[in-house]
Amino acid sequence: MRARPCCVATFHSTHDAIHAERACTERGVAGRLIPLPVQINADCGLAWRMEPSERPTFERLMQDEGIDAGYVDLML
């Protein structure tokens, strides 16, 4: 399998990661919760992987939900 560009959102806590997953599922935002890639250093061991085109929708949803997320573009 070849690596593809993706956007990874990181969180400060597992609680935030699970909250983000629930909000995305409820609102149909594409992506999935993954273990934190080794290339990233963050407080939480979980991350949300999405297509780069989903990032603006995800960012708006995180703002609406009061979740502070960090963003990294990677090849995974």
For the segment 23-76, what is each residue's pLDDT rounded down to a tens digit? 999 999 999 999 999 989 888 999 999 999 999 999 999 999 999 999 999 999
Residue 35 CB: number of other CB atoms within 10 A?
9
pLDDT for the residue 43 = 87
Tell me the pTM.
Answer: 0.93
Q: Which of 6, 18, 15, 24 is nearest to 64 (CA)?
A: 24
Pairing, β 5-11 against β 69-75? antiparallel
Pairing, β 46-50 against β 32-35? antiparallel
Alpha-carbon distance of 69 to 31, in angstroms, equals: 15
Average pLDDT over residues 6-28: 97
Helix (H, G, I), strand (E, B) or coil at 2: coil
